[in-house]
Amino acid sequence: MGFFEHVAIAVDFSEPSQIALRGCRQLLDEVAVQRVTLFHALKQVVLPHGDVPKVRERLELMRAKMHKAATEQLGQICKDIAWPEGVDVRCEVVEGNPARAVPIAAQEAGATVLLIGTHSRKGLRRWLQGSVAERVAEGTRIPVLVMPMGNDGVAPEAELADLGHVLVAVDVHREAAKVVRGALEAAVSFHRQKVDVTLLTVAELPDFPTLQADEDMVTGFLDALSKDAEAQLEGLEAEFGGDVANLRHEVRVGDPDEQILNAANEFKSRIVVLGTHGRDEAPLLQLGSTTAYVIRNADVSVLVIPSHPDLDA
């Protein structure tokens, strides 16, 4: 199944959402897509406990009206967009918190990737939208592409028209191969002969006061981390390089949050790819702090690849 074969798009009815949707729609011209499903999450109406028939009846009626109105509005949005020829387009209204209801519905529908468009790049609104996108990405076991659009001189519909450079931030001590494989599958889906891809690992000093107080120990520790990361990145480059991508790797030392964003800016990357972390006891995924930070602060698209070993099944 192709990476963009079945695209799910999270939609609300705000003006920024409509602008973001245009960018998501433009992306579909660049990839091989067969089906698109638009999802809108409707706030759940909580029915009272106990036997209060009149109240329950009114709330049930209210819920039915809200669902009908949302379905009609989402259907109109579908009709107003000129979708690629031959693509099966569907709309679905679900009930619940968007951060959980949409990703669960997308996964159950068999979507191969979930697109989220945000329209604010700076300030509090950008942070809040990034926070919502972070929670959505945390709530799904399929790849999530977060596309921030607006306020940067790039038209929403042209956000990923030129893929340019792809930055793949990998944790070599986790499921790095899954993240790299997913990144390359997505890149190949853009119908390009080859793309420039940099595999980046950041060696970070653990928060051990005793270790930090010993300069020689710090230097030796970071050198060992860097050499280990270098060897593993070379292995990934050898495994995945070739006809698909112009693959290179780089190891940096410092804070992963800032180093990833700095590298994306230096390389003029149009997309940053990261993996998720997981919890065995959790029904869904848990983003690592770095992935969450990049989603909230990057001014380019971010692709989150589920990489927890439990997802192999």
Q: Binning pLDDT at 50, 70 and 90, where does residue 272 land?
A: very high
Q: What is the pLDDT of residue 191?
A: 56
- pLDDT value at residue 92: 95
Question: Which of 104, 123, 153 delimits the end of a domain?
Answer: 153
Alpha-carbon distance of 167 to 182, in angstroms, equals: 12
Q: Which has more pLDDT, 125 or 164?
A: 164
Tell whether 177 and 307 lie within a shared domain: yes
Distance, in Å, from the CA atom of 46 to the CA atom of 96, rounded to the nearest integer, reads 10
pTM of the model: 0.83
Q: Would you call 140 helix, strand, or coil by DSSP?
A: coil
Task: Verify that 36 and 103 share a domain, yes or no.
Answer: yes
What share of the chain in percent tops pLDDT 70? 76
User: In the predicted model, is pLDDT for residue 15 greater than 70?
Assistant: yes
Number of domains comprising the chain: 2
The reply to whether 169 and 298 lie within a common domain is: yes
Higher-scoring residue by pLDDT: 254, 126:
254
Q: How far apart are CA 25 and CA 117, in angstroms?
A: 10
Query: Is the same domain home to 109 and 174?
Result: no
Contact of 158 with 301, CB cutoff 8 Å: no
With the CA atoms of 93, 99, 105 and 110 taken in that order, what torsion angle do they form, in degrees rounded to the nearest 10?
130
- Across the range 113-123, mean pLDDT stands at 69
Q: Could you tell me if 184 and 95 lie in one domain?
A: no
Q: Which of 153, 171, 205 is the last residue of a domain?
A: 153
> Residue 260: which pLDDT band, with cuts at 50, 70 and 90?
very high
172 and 312 share one domain? yes
Q: Answer yes or no: is pLDDT of 247 > 50.
A: yes
Mean pLDDT of 73-100: 91
Q: What percent of the chain has pLDDT over 90?
A: 23
Query: pLDDT tens across 161-220, in order?
Result: 667 789 999 887 667 888 888 888 888 787 566 788 899 988 876 665 555 556 777 777
pLDDT of 157 strictly over 60:
no
